[in-house]
Structure 1
Amino acid sequence: MVISLQEGLKVDRRYPAIIRAEQTAELGFEVAGRVSMVAVEIGDQVRKGAVIARLQADRLRAASNEARAQVAEAKALLDQYEAELARQTQLRSRDATSGRAVDDAHANVLTGRARLKSAQASLDLAAADLRDTVLRAPFSGLVIERQASVGDLAQAQTPIVTMIESGSLEARASLPVDVARALRPGSSVNLFVDDLVFSGRVKSVLPTVSDAAQSATIIVSIPQNASISEGKAAEIAIEQSVSGEGIWVPVTALVSDLKGLFAIQVVEEREAGWVVRRVPVEVLYSSSDRAYVSGSFKGQAEVIAGGSHRVLPGQVVETKRVAGRSVEPTP
């Protein structure tokens, strides 16, 4: 193939990604207790607010009733204190009681109000604990794990089931830091899943960087109608610019050079005929079948597309064209 220099290029580089639900929740009770009912199985679709599971609530119901009785008692006592304060205040206006008695009655009212407030707080806490014996779905979605059965003793905040939100998926990928930070929320990217291609948009670029890999995570939103399963492997294509003057060559044209670098071999027309010359190159970009390389190239040279291992630099060869403009040496 005849050398044809170009100044840089734009390429789509693919990075591995994983499909995740936008919302995943491990649902558990806020209080400990024995599980009396689990209403879902793995694979069930549930609506927001639907009952997922229940705990035995006898003791908590009794505690709530006791707290309610304490509130009633505190209210009755406060009513007595307030009535006594009113009576002592009236007597004081007629100079029929001491100021000390009025002060004592006022102090009793303050104490009664504090006791009622404390009793009400205890009732609110008991009512909340009682409500927490019923576990409900925080959003509409799919049950993907069930970690408890009827009769199990559930600890507070221990997962009972795991849910993912229905219909809302996103892709997460780790990119080199400079590539990730060049993206902006709203940027369009292509997402490859098996043989399908979807158009997604960059939702966010997480500010944290992995020290080991020097990579940053991007999150790409996926169209609602995309037929993709959660947990699926994917690839995200990011358009990037490759700077530097270079040429495209088949990967079969690359040969090993000194210190683990690469070179290509070219044939140049001289008086003696076509002469092989080795050109060290830097691979700026490569795909499965070709590479974009830079090096010290001259005008009328042609790249040896295959069979480079059969000839040495300085050797005079005959050539034959293959695949259009590629050449192979014939020593």
Structure 2
Amino acid sequence: MFRHVLSLAASLSLASLLVACGNGEPVKQPVRPAMVVKPKPAAEAMEAYPGEVRARYEPELAFRIGGKVAKRLVDVGARVKKDQPLAELDPEDVRLQLEATRAQVAAAEANLQLARAERDRYKTLLERQLVSRSQYDNAENVYRSNEARLKQIRAEYNVASNQAAYTVLRAPQDGVIASRQVEVGQVVAAGQTVFTLAADGEREVLFSVPEQVFERFRIGQDVSVELWSQPDQRFPGRIRELAPAADPQSRTFAARVAFSEGKVPAELGQSARVFVKVNGDVPLSVPLSALSAEGGRPFVWVVDPKDSTLQRRAVRTGAFGEKRVPILEGLSVDDWVVAAGVQLLREGQAVRPVDRDNRVVELAAKE
């Protein structure tokens, strides 16, 4: 009994002490930081298609004559300059043809010189009336025939000379070798692709469109592109090219997207995703961590830009994504939403808005 009375007295004394220390005044809560974000367009309302960064101009390089590949001077991925040699054919056959044509030119020149001398001699004899007119005309015709023959042989020699230069395949412009289709020792035909050159300059994204949704796409349509190396940034673009026929193997239509901005840090071969807006308005979205609920009704905490206090905002959500949730009603693009620690907040609480790097966020200019 004595112990019970002693414990009760001690409790009363402690309570009296606490009341005396507090003087009956409420303790002021410190302003806590709150990470805030703005709603973004919901990725779930965008159709995404995988793609690859390619050069806008990708000429297929080939020899202009057929022959056996004697040398391959570059490999895939090599950067080349304009007029740089890329591969060579065995020049022996072309060289022999050039020598044969050169010999024909020499013979034609000798025949023309002889025909000219014969014609001049008959002309002199005709003036002296020592030969008939028909004999002179025959010498004139022989001269003209040899003259035409020389022109023909010289043209054939020029063709053979050009073909001798065609044994060396050169780059038509600066770029990177994107693919190679031949090896040394292989016999190629004229026009057969040897290399594919990714020319320097503009970059595009190549992606495939399934045939069941092909009618949704059109040339000039606005899209956005996300590079795997920069997942948090999207670059505006437009569809520049649509294949008129489906690929016979994949049954998809090739499409190319040109970037709308002047300079985009996209390198050849990089993976990308092309986002195409679906029909209708695109809802906003917030991180999953920003959403809370009470009584089965979802809500988010919105920061008032005037005094940095919290307001509970009821929202209507769409289908949850992996990291974000679409907000169909209740938010605007100008709202600032608390993205973390929402279970510790209360209505009207003053907060210090910060970003993900703990830097103070200026919500709006104060009036």
What TM bracket, shorter-length normalisation?
A: 0.5 to 0.7
Letter in 2 for 1:242: G
Contact 1:43/1:142 (<8 A) preserved? yes
Q: 1:142 to 1:223 in 2, by over 3 A?
A: farther
Distance 1:109 1:287 in 2: 93
Question: Contact 2:242/2:253 (CA < 8 Å) preserved in 1?
Answer: no
SS of equivalent to 2:157: helix
Alpha carbons of 1:220 and 1:33: their partners in 2 closer, same or farther (altered >3 Å)?
Answer: same
1:204 to 231, 240, 253: 240
Question: Greater share of strand residues, 1 or 2?
Answer: 1
Distance 1:69 1:174 in 2: 57
| Stretches of structure 2 lacking an aligned partner (at least 5 in a row) | 1-43, 285-317, 330-367
Shift of 1:139: 1.9
* Residue equivalent to 1:96: 130
Output one character per residue of 1:174-207: Cα deviation in whole Å (capped at 9) or x when no partner.
Answer: 56555434x54xx764222220535344373447
Q: Is the 8 A contact 2:46 2:278 kept in 1?
A: yes
Mapped to 1, the partners of 2:189 and 2:243 lie a distance apart of: 35
Q: Which amino acid aligns with 1:35?
A: V
Counterpart selection for 2:117 from 83, 89, 104? 83
Aligned pair 1:65/2:99, yes or no? Answer: yes
Give 3-state SS (helix, strand or coil) of 2:268's partner. Answer: coil
Q: Which residue of 2 aligns with 1:228?
A: 266
Report SS of the residue matched to 2:77: coil
After superposition, the Cα gap between the structure-2 partners of 1:228 and 1:92, relative to the gap in structure 1 and judged at 3 Å, is same
2:56 and 2:252 mapped to 1: Cα distance? 25
2:174 to 140, 145, 159: 140
Which one-letter code corresponds to 1:109 in the other structure?
Y
Cα gap change, 1:157 to 1:172, in 2 (>3 Å): same
Instruction: Give the structure 2 partner of residue 120 of structure 1.
Output: 154
The answer as to 2:180 corresponding to 1:180 is no
Corresponding residue SS for 1:73: helix
TM-score by length of 1: 0.59
1:75-107: CA deviation from partner (whole Å, max 9, x where unpaired):
221232233333333433443322211221222
The residue identity in structure 2 corresponding to 1:235 is: R
| Equivalent of residue 242 in structure 1, options 255, 262, 280 | 280
- Residues 173 and 42 of structure 1, relative CA distance in 2, 3 Å threshold: closer
How many pairs does the alignment contain?
246
- The structural deviation recorded for 1:52 is 1.0
Tell me which amino acid in the other structure corresponds to 1:32. Answer: G
The one-letter amino acid of 2:156's match is S
Counterpart for residue 171 of structure 1: 205
CA drift of 1:136 comes to 0.9
**C-alpha separation between the residues in 2 aligned to 1:99 and 1:198?**
89
**Structure 1 counterpart of 2:225:** 191
Larger radius of gyration: 2
Q: What residue number does 1:37 align with?
A: 71
How much does 1:70 deviate? 0.9
Q: Where does structure 1 lack aligned partners over 5 or more consecutive residues?
A: 1-10, 249-284, 294-331
Alpha-carbon distance in structure 2 between the residues aligned to 1:99 and 1:121: 33
Q: 1:221 to 1:111 in 2, by over 3 A?
A: farther
Deviation at 1:120, TM superposition (A): 1.7
CA distance in 2, matches of 1:61, 1:67: 10
Q: Distance in 2 between matches of 1:214 and 1:56?
A: 41
Distance in 2 (CA, whole Å) between partners of 1:209 and 1:155 is 28
C-alpha separation between the residues in 1 aligned to 2:143 and 2:106?
16
Counterpart Cα distance in 2 of 1:46 and 1:217: 27
Deviation of 1:134 (Å): 0.8
- One-letter code aligned to 1:199: F
Q: CA deviation at 1:169?
A: 1.5
Partner of 1:278: none
Cα pair 1:198 1:226 within 8 Å, conserved:
no
The answer (yes or no) to whether the contact 1:169–1:224 under 8 Å persists in 2 is no
- CA-based RMSD of the aligned residues comes to 4.1
- 1:233–1:108 distance in 2 versus 1, CA, 3 Å: same
Once residues 160 and 211 of structure 1 are traced to their aligned partners in structure 2, the CA distance between those partners, rounded to angstroms, is: 22
Q: Distance in 1 between matches of 2:102 and 2:146?
A: 16
Question: Which residue identity is paired with 2:206?
Answer: R
TM-score (norm: length of structure 2): 0.54
Q: Does 1:110 align with 2:147?
A: no
Identity of aligned residues (%): 24
Indicate if the aligned counterparts of 2:208 and 2:252 stay in contact, CA closer than 8 A.
no
Q: Is the 8 A contact 1:18 1:171 kept in 2?
A: yes
2:294 is aligned to none
